[in-house]
């Protein structure tokens, strides 16, 4: 199936918003009592599976960067890059938004937070 650039961009943004909602929901589940976690955790796993299935059907891949090196050419922007004197040796401490890739092409760049492990 061939998508227009505009349709691909809209689908990519929708995937990112769904991914962010799933991340927030997972964090909220952690605060619940054990007796309430199981059912909600199952629902969110199903939502994650659906997101991946639908993204794949649209030839989209969501890419996260947690723990990876950050540098020039990274398909993500860093919200806290100005906190560091140099980009050398920085790693991604948290993915705020995944990058969306299709056919090895970045459709939507990601957003990350960085840390200097040294």
- The DSSP annotation for 76-93 comes to EEETTGGGSS-STT-EEE
The residue ranges of DSSP E strands in 3-109, in sequence order, are: 61-63, 76-78, 91-97, 99-102, 105-108
Report how far residue 50's alpha carbon sits from residue 107's, in angstroms, rounded to the nearest whole number.
20
Band the pLDDT of 1: cuts 50, 70, 90.
low
Please give the tally of structural domains in the chain. Answer: 1
Range of the domain at 14: 5-115
Of 3-7, 19-23, 39-43, the range with the lowest mean pLDDT is: 3-7
Tens digit of pLDDT for each residue in 40-79? 999 999 999 999 999 999 999 999 999 999 988 899 999 9
Percent of the residues in the chain that have a pLDDT greater than 70, as a whole number: 99
CB 103, CB 77: distance < 8 Å = no
Torsions phi, psi of 74, nearest 5? -65, 135
């Amino acid at each position: 199936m061939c998508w227009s650039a505009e349709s691909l961009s809209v689908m990519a943004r929708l995937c990112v918003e769904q991914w962010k909602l799933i991340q927030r929901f997972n964090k909220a589940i952690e605060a619940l009592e054990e007796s309430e976690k199981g059912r909600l955790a199952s629902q969110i796993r199903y939502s994650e599976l659906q997101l991946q299935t639908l993204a794949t059907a649209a030839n989209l891949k969501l890419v996260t960067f947690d723990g990876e090196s950050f540098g020039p050419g990274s398909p993500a922007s860093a919200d806290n890059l100005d906190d560091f004197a140099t980009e050398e040796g920085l790693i991604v401490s948290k993915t705020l938004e995944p990058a969306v890739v299709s056919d090895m092409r970045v459709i939507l760049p990601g957003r990350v937070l960085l840390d200097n492990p040294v």
